[in-house]
């Protein structure tokens, strides 16, 4: 039994079987975890939130206005120059719903007092980034908002604004 003193040179039958068990056992574990995680993935129903919403015609929203569309969880912001933004009403800090304060012309979060201007830019932390956007498209004079695809952004850019 001289091989005993020089291990690692060739794989013994026992080592081979051990390795096989480990590899297949590991694979089985990974598969089970995968199935488990896939099973738990969010189930999206055709509902109001998460689909494309038609919020009405362009002229329903006067310039310089902020309108809360509660069933879609967003604000339609119409800027002074007529451009549209759909801003997700969920605070980027920890997720509270941000109300629009008409007198101060700001979004002010009740939870930890983050403040955002009408474009959604952070005016006061702790929120780490501007409010998220939903893609807006204007089809036949109707404003369509895709609530299934929130866009995270680091800054406000004019390219985010959609014009009729």
Partner 1 sequence: MNDDIPEPSILDRMRNRLTPDELPTDDRGRMRMVVDSLVLHLHPTKIPDRTLRWTYTWGLGGLAAVLMTILAFTGVILLNNYTPSAPQAYLDILKLNDNVWFGELIRNLHHWSANLLIIIAVLHLIRVFVTGAYRPPRELNWLLGVAMLLLVLGANFTGYLLPWDQLAYWAITVGTGIISYIPLIGNWLTRLILGGPEVSGNTLLNFYSMHIAIIPLIIFGLMSYHFWRVRKDGGLSIPKSLEESETGVEPKMERLTTIPNLVQKELLYTLVWIAVILVFAMLVQAPLEGIANPDISPNPAKAPWYFMGLQEMLLHFHPLVGAIILPGLAITGIILLPFLDINPKNVGVYFRSRRGRALVLLAAGLSLIATPAWVLMDEYLLNWNGWLPTWPSLISNGLIPLAVISLPLILLDDWVRKSFHADTEERVLFIASFLFTAFVVLTIIGIFFRGPGMALYLPWNMPASSH
Residues 154, 139: Cα–Cα separation, whole Å = 28
| Cβ-proximal residues to 126 (8 Å cutoff; 6+ apart), any chain | 93, 112, 114
| Residue 150 neighbours by CB under 8 Å, 6+ apart | 88, 132, 133, 134
Stretch binding partner 1 (CB under 8 A), from 18-26, 27-35, 52-60, 85-93: 85-93
Query: Shortest CA distance to 42 belongs to which of 31, 32, 50?
Result: 50
Cβ closer to ligand FES: 32 or 113? Answer: 113
The span from the CA of 107 to the CA of 98, in Å, is: 6
Measured from the CB of residue 110, what is the shortest distance to ligand FES in angstroms? 8
Nearer CB in complex with partner 1: 129/144? 129
Q: Does 108 bind ligand FES (CB under 6 A)?
A: no
**Contact footprint for ligand FES (CB under 6 A):** 91, 93-96, 109, 111-112, 114, 126-127
Contact positions vs partner 1 (CB under 8 A) = 37, 40-44, 49-50, 68, 70, 73, 89-90, 93-99, 109-113, 125-126, 128, 150
């Amino acid at each position: 039994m001289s091989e005993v003193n020089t291990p690692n040179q060739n794989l013994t039958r026992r080592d081979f079987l051990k390795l096989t068990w480990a590899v297949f056992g590991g694979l089985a574990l990974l598969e089970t975890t995968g199935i488990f995680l896939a099973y738990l993935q969010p189930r999206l129903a055709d509902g109001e939130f998460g689909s494309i919403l038609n919020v009405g015609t362009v002229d329903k929203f006067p310039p310089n206005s902020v309108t809360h569309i509660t069933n879609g969880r967003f604000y339609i912001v119409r800027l002074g120059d007529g451009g549209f933004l759909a801003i997700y009403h969920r605070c980027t800090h920890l997720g509270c719903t941000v109300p629009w304060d008409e007198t101060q012309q700001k979004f002010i979060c009740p939870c930890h007092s983050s403040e955002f201007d009408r474009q959604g830019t952070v005016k006061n932390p702790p929120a780490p980034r501007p409010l998220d956007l939903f893609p807006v498209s204007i089809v036949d004079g109707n404003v369509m908002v895709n609530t299934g695809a929130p866009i995270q952004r680091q800054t406000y850019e004019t390219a985010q604004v959609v014009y009729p």
